[in-house]
Structure 1
Amino acid sequence: MSSPSFLQGNSLAARDAKSQIHPYTNLSVHEKEGPLIIESGKGIHVFDEDGKEYIEGLAGLWCTSFGFGEEELINAAIKQMRKLPYYHAFASKSTEPSIRLAEKLLEIAPADFSKVFFVNSGSEANDTVIKLVWYYNNALGRPKKKKIISRQKAYHGVTVAAASLTGLPPLHNDFDLPIQNILHTSCPHYYRFGKDGESEEEFASRMADDLENLILKEGPDTVAAFIAEPVMGAGGVIIPPVTYFEKIQKILKKYDILMIADEVICGFGRTGQMWGSQTYGIKPDILSCAKALSSAYLPIAAVMVSEDIFRGMVKQSEKHGAFAHGYTYSGHPVPAAVAMRTMELMEERNIIAHVQDMSPHFLKRFNALADHPLVGEVRACGLIGAVELVADKKTKRSFDPKFKAGHKAYIAMQEAGVISRAVAGDNMALCPPLIITEAEIDEMFDRFTKGLDVAADMAKKEDWFTG
């Protein structure tokens, strides 16, 4: 971070603090301390303006699956920029890259989807999903069947509707959210919410019962859809309990409720399969994806829908004269070309097999942290995981928020040369580029552990354990 007097000069840090608003940032602290400026990247590493090297342990924001400086993706962008730098998809216009990418997504999809709609981000994808669910039920003559159930601690984006789906209070506080017709059911985090003596499968049954009770309370004729991440990312990397999605989907089918899979983080190999839906037996009617779709090299996201839903959209477009939804950059040919090359590279380099090969060592290094004095739970799948920091291992008591344990651990890890992230409080997440090697996994965890050790020393000196 910059020095306290950084604003006195004309450095990049000073210019940043004077000109930009940063997302998910304490704006008051940022004014005083300024940013960490990342200047370049190569492979799993990034370098700041002073030349210091970091392992990017969160793949940016859960997204840069091929790491930094992948020439194949850079060249795909350059080639398409020279051929056709932009065109839109309005009024029956199209481009070859968007057509090829849509075909590819339908080919590799985890369910029998009919069509693809392109947007620019995961938030826009989930905003679109909400509109499509409402549009579809209007087409079926079900004007009351509009409520969408998400989960506490879920993360589905930050736009008005997508942030309403998100089940994290900071995204609602003083933004006047959530909007109407968005509900939240229980968070399926067994470590935090399982009862004494309750097995993981019994807990999953209780979570399913909670969902069914909410549906019955609201009225099944008013509930249109249920949305879930296969693994809950920003909510703390929460792995679903055994039999959870099997039981949830039985209830959805019972009450004619759509299953929406938010694959924004889990899609494209993160869990060890192409889709998190495949890892956890989810059969979605709608799927949203983004992030690793283009290895985050350019903004692009997509929504895939079943044939039934598409037929409803066709009916409404006939009624109104057009499907009146879309974005200037929907199906932009340059991001689409980069995304298509990303999908090709996944096959050419057998990335899924590589993730499966690396996953056991990744999990071994995560599990080794279970005995660390700050760690209450370790949870991981594929190449995504987190440790939850606690003040008391036996009682699972969390640290008092005033100590900012997660944030201090994050800073300590950054100083040790690994960029992680504190999510949903004191959960320290890792989600490295999928190209990471076993030796790089070891180096990443060595630095991560060094940061944890520094945080543990701070905890003793500052008496974080007082409760």
Structure 2
Amino acid sequence: MRSNFAYDTDRLVQEDQTHILHPWGDLGEPASRNPMIIAEAEGVYVYNSDGHRMLDGIGGLWCVNIGYGREEMVQAIADQVRKLPYCSNFGITATPKSIEFGTRLAGYTPGDLKRVLFTTGGSTAVDSALRFVQFYFNSTGRPNKKHIITRNYAYHGSTYLSASVSGKPGDRGNLDFVTDTVHHLPVPDPYRRPEGMTEEEFCDLKVADLENKILELGPENVGCFIAEPLLASGGVIVPPAGYQKRTRDVCSKYHVLYISDEVVTGFGRLGEIFASEPVFEIVPDIITSAKGLTSGYIPLGAVFISERLYGEVSGEAARGKQFANGFTYSGHPVACAAGLKNLDIIESENILGHVRDLGNYFIESLSKLEELPIVGIVRGSHLVACVECVADKKTKEPVPASFDIGNRIGVHARARGLMVRPMGHLAVLSPPLIVTREQIDTIVEIMEQAINAAVDDLVREGLWNK
């Protein structure tokens, strides 16, 4: 607990309830659910407005990869603000920082993905990638290739198009989406594969889902398949081994573009700057990125496009044509300066190696929670994980939504000094990449206590039998 915090929590809560509309907030209970005011942070810890310290087990929102309070980031941002706080990146205008950052990033991208379009975040990166697919096929005389294939439980963003290709059931209430050209495949979740089916057979089935959908729609009508290497916000669902490579091969077979959405998995979360090739053995046509791109210090997104694709829509034959897609803050010089310094820190401190060294320990340590009666599975990769609570381990039936188990675990964890991300019957963890072995032990210890305390609540209310 920090002392001398000069924040009036009661006033902040009242003003928040009066004026602020929170994304994914419960609109039916704005007054009864007091917001948690996060006021300060350092390293892997955040402090609420009362000075209570919590280990940030969710890394902001999968994004504060290098940790909080990095003075070199503060200095890089301040220096760029003094020098040039803003410049449009449209047309023929550029800045030294956007050019330098794009060039540095191209040294990490797989294959020939050497062309970068900067955006403002993950949603606008995905939206821009999908619009480039439309532009590409329209420009190359294949205007029928408009259909997009995605997956249930995917999350790709909150713009109209990126939300349409998302597939989390809880995000689709009372909103409208593109439905005529967007198609969702069943989620490739090995935990819920049919009884008696091996993981290899399940992989065959999920790959067949993609190929069958392409054939159903007609390859001449399908533009792209968009996929997170692992479905992050959908519950850290790790597809069966070989799934990514085999779906990439299917796309290549039918001339369908493959978009790898690395907004979460990029910039060290899986021990690589881009996980597509080194972790999953694929070279996609397009990669989207954000979050860890600047470690969340300033919003920035990016789309990485194959030189092959770019070459087909540029050059002498494209004279007079434009890819008319961009944002006021595309290639923002201060954001690019932050991105460059973020990359400097990742490289100089060997954060990628640190993640590779600790990744197995993180998942294996959390897996001990599967011994608890309510925990069905702990899944994940490197420094991203999900604890799934079930009502019955044999049937894998989720804990009923009315039990609010995720939020209960979150409340008990925060009281003990750990922030987790509750999502229905799930609890997600993705700490800053600088987390230590000892801090991982603390995460596991608090998670066990919080889960047990949440179960005790259910028992007292007559909802659960121990």
TM-score normalized by structure 1?
0.95
With 356-365 and 249-258 compared, the bigger mean Cα shift is at: 356-365
* Matches of 2:179 and 2:316, distance apart in 1: 24
| Deviation by residue 1:404-437 (Cα, 9 ceiling, x = unmatched) | 22222222222222111123x3121110000011
Change over 3 Å in CA distance of 1:181–1:315 after alignment to 2: farther
Aligned to 1:28, the other structure's residue is in SS state coil
Q: Distance in 2 between matches of 1:108 and 1:185?
A: 30
**CA shift for structure 1 position 107:** 0.5
Q: Is the contact made by 2:108 and 2:274 (CA closer than 8 Å) also made in structure 1?
A: no
- Give 2:6's aligned residue: none
Residue 114 of structure 1, CA deviation: 2.8
2:37 maps to which residue?
A: 37
Matched residue, 1:456: 455
Is 2:265 the counterpart of 1:266?
yes
1:302 is paired with a residue whose SS is strand
Tell me how far apart the structure 1 counterparts of residues 317 and 159 of structure 2 sit (CA, whole Å). 25
> 1:428 maps to what in 2?
427
What is the Cα deviation at residue 201 of structure 1?
A: 1.0
Superposed displacement of residue 189, structure 1: 0.2
Match of 1:248 in 2: 247
The CA deviation string for residues 357-398 of structure 1, in whole angstroms up to 9 with x for no partner, is 222321221111111111001112111111100011111111
1:320-352: CA deviation from partner (whole Å, max 9, x where unpaired): 543321111000000100001111111100011
> Does residue 224 of structure 1 match 2:210?
no
Local SS of the residue matching 1:195 = coil
- Measure, in 1, the Cα distance between the counterparts of 2:364 and 2:131: 42
Give 1:316 shift.
Answer: 11
Q: 1:169 to 1:360 in 2, by over 3 A?
A: closer
Q: Compared with structure 1, are the counterparts of its residues 369 and 10 closer, same or farther at alpha carbon in structure 2 (3 Å cutoff)?
A: closer
How far has the Cα of 1:463 moved from its partner?
A: 3.9
Q: Structure 1 stretch 23-32 or stretch 130-139: which is displaced more?
A: 23-32
Question: Contact between 2:400 and 2:425, CA under 8 Å: does it hold in 1?
Answer: no
Conserved? CA contact 2:132–2:323, under 8 Å = no
The answer for the alignment partner of 2:446 in structure 1 is 447
Q: Against the structure 1 CA distance between its residues 133 and 248, is the aligned structure 2 distance closer, same or farther, given a 3 Å change threshold?
A: same
Q: Which stretch of structure 1 is more off in the superposition, 285-294 or 247-256?
A: 247-256
The code of the aligned residue for 2:120 comes to: N
Alignment CA distance shift 1:202-1:159 (3 Å): same
Give the drift of 1:446.
Answer: 1.5
Q: 1:208 to 1:71 in 2, by over 3 A?
A: same
Whether the 8 Å CA contact 2:140–2:313 is kept in 1: the answer is no
Residue equivalent to 1:5: none
Question: After the TM superposition, which parts of structure 1 deviate over 6 Å for at least 4 consecutive aligned residues?
Answer: none
Corresponding residue for residue 212 of structure 1: 211
Identity across the alignment (%):
37
Letter in 2 for 1:240: P
Task: Read off the aligned partner of 1:138 and give its amino acid letter.
Answer: N
Contact 1:44 1:68 in 2 (8 A): yes
Q: Is residue 300 from structure 1 mapped to residue 309 from structure 2 by the alignment?
A: no
CA contact (8 A) 2:269 2:384 kept: yes
Over 3 Å counting, the alpha-carbon distance change for 1:10 and 1:407 in structure 2 is: closer
Structure 2 residue 161 is matched with structure 1 residue 190: no
Deviation at 1:210, TM superposition (A): 1.1
CA distance in 2, matches of 1:172, 1:309: 33
Where does residue 3 of structure 1 map in the other structure?
none
Partner of 1:382: 382
Residue 169 of structure 1: how far off its partner (Å): 2.2
Asked if the contact 1:391–1:464 (Cα under 8 Å) also holds between the matched residues in 2, the reply is no
Q: Which amino acid aligns with 1:239?
A: V
2:161 match: 161
Structure 2 unaligned blocks of 5 or more: 1-8
Unpaired stretches in structure 1, ≥5 consecutive residues = 1-8
Say if 1:98 and 1:333, in contact at 8 Å, map to a contact too.
Answer: yes
Q: For the Cα contact (< 8 Å) 1:399–1:464, is it kept in 2?
A: no
Give the distance between the partners of 2:85 and 2:136, measured in 1 at CA: 34
Structure 2 CA distance, aligned partners of 1:369 and 1:169? 27
In the superposition, the TM-score normalised over structure 2's length comes to 0.95
> Structure 1 residues 275, 114: closer, same or farther in 2, change over 3 A?
closer
Question: Which amino acid counterpart does residue 213 of structure 1 have in structure 2?
Answer: N
Q: Note closer, same or farther for the CA distance 1:316–1:411 as it changes in structure 2 (3 Å cut).
A: farther
Distance 1:73 1:121 in 2: 19
1:17-56 CA-to-partner distances (Å, cap 9, x unmatched) read 1111001111232233321101100000000111101111
| Alpha-carbon distance in structure 1 between the residues aligned to 2:61 and 2:27 | 19
Instruction: Measure, in 1, the Cα distance between the counterparts of 2:462 and 2:109.
Output: 50
The 8 Å contact of residues 66 and 346 in structure 2, kept in 1 or not, is answered as no
RMSD: 1.7
Within 5 A, what are the aligned runs for 1:18-33? 18-33=18-33
Greater shift in the superposed pair: 166-175 or 427-436: 166-175
Corresponding residue number in structure 2 for 1:134: 134
Q: Secondary structure at the match of 1:91?
A: coil
How many residue pairs match? The answer is: 457
1:387 match: secondary structure: strand
What secondary structure sits across from 1:30 in the alignment? coil
**Contact persistence 1:161–1:179 (CA under 8 A):** no
Distance 1:14 1:245, change over 3 A: same
CA distance in 2, matches of 1:350, 1:114: 24
Question: Which moves more between the two structures, 443-452 or 121-130?
Answer: 443-452
Report if the CA contact (8 A) 2:363-2:381 is conserved. yes
C-alpha displacement at 1:10, in angstroms? 6.5
Paired residue type of 2:375: V
Q: What is the CA-CA distance between 1:308 and the residue it aligns to?
A: 2.3
Q: CA deviation at 1:315?
A: 6.3
Match for residue 395 of structure 2?
395
Larger displacement relative to structure 2 (453-462 or 56-65) = 453-462
